[in-house]
Amino acid sequence: MSLKPSEHQVAGHMKGGTAATLVDNEGKFYKPLQEGPRGAREYEFYETVKGNSMQEKSSKKECTGTLQTFMPTYYGSTTIDGVKHIIVQDINFGYDKPSCLDLKIGFRTWYEAPWNSDDWISNRKAKDEREGLTQLGFKLCGMNLWLQSEGRYWKQERDYWRSLATREPVVEELRRFACNGSGLAAREIYGPALSQLEAISRWFETQEEYCFYGCSVLMTYEGAAVAAEDLKVSCKLIDFAHSFGGQQQKDMNFLGGLRSVMSLIKEAADI
């Protein structure tokens, strides 16, 4: 089995100039775990979800079963060149030219925990404020947009995305994402995307088991599509280094952020 750096990584950690994540040719995605507790937590979260899905208690099993449909399928872990990687479904697999958007959800990425120092929390607070999360309830971490009419990808550096901290430019970028130049209307992409986000939001309205800080919705569609039925729109939750089970309360931070994304998407697509 041959592994290669993921061509379609839109945000997150890099290794030198290339993506830190790997893909094989069978539809699996390999994410290196960061050193120390942060990496271990993402692995633990996937394991917790897997464990809860096999539980006897039916309410937890059902709640977790639904969550799993929003996450990439989990295949365990492996060690590559001495570094532990989690193995999950490659969301881009099966697309010719995937267009991807990484939306980090929530009004804040920080939370009180024994492993989070006061410095970490105050840095996060400042960053969330600076990058617009505090005001908008989410941020655009990155976008790979296939322009079918020009036969190339449109991408920007990380600093470009960091500077979009207010409503108008964010709506403008959401509008941009839904236009691949082949004449399809934004609503052809955002209609199906909103149905999926609606299902996620309905789950958050009732579940009291899990909380998600710094978690993203990865939105993907077929950039090379010229007809609406070929778009294959997908919205999946990714990035669980600060996600936990056993909460016993609703995650209003994520739910509020998700509602805000949905409302700005409606504005962008005129729905």
Please give the residue ranges that form the binding site for ligand ADP (CB under 6 A): 9-13, 21, 29, 31, 72, 88-92, 100, 102, 142, 216, 218, 238-239, 241
Q: Nearest to Mg ion by Cβ — which residue?
A: 239
Q: Which does 9 bind (CB under 5 to 8 A by kind): Mg ion, ligand ADP, none?
A: ligand ADP
Which H or E element spans position 244?
strand 242-244
Vertex 123 angle, CA 122 and 124, to 5° = 90
The answer to whether residue 42 forms part of the interface with Mg ion (CB under 5 A) is no
Residue 239 vs 251, nearer CB to ligand ADP: 239
- Closer to ligand ADP by Cβ: residue 74 or 190: 74
239 lines the binding site for Mg ion (CB under 5 A): yes
CB 42 within 8 Å of CB 33: yes
| Closest C-alpha to 75, from 85, 86, 84 | 86
* CB burial of residue 44 (10 Å; 0-12, 13-18, 19+): middle
Shortest Cβ distance from residue 93 to ligand ADP (Å)? 8
Tokens representing 252 are 């209003």
| Partner touching 164 among ligand ADP, Mg ion, none, CB below 5 to 8 Å by kind | none
Q: Rounded to whole angstroms, how far apart are CA atoms 175 and 271?
A: 12
Provide the minimum distance between the beta carbon of 253 and ligand ADP in the complex, in angstroms, as a whole number: 17
Is 173 one of the binding residues for Mg ion (CB under 5 A)? no
* Number of helical H runs and strand E runs in the chain: 8, 14
Contact 268, 171 (CB under 8 A): yes
For Mg ion, which is the closer residue by CB, 83 or 226?
83
Q: Give contact residues for Mg ion (rule: CB under 5 A).
A: 12, 239
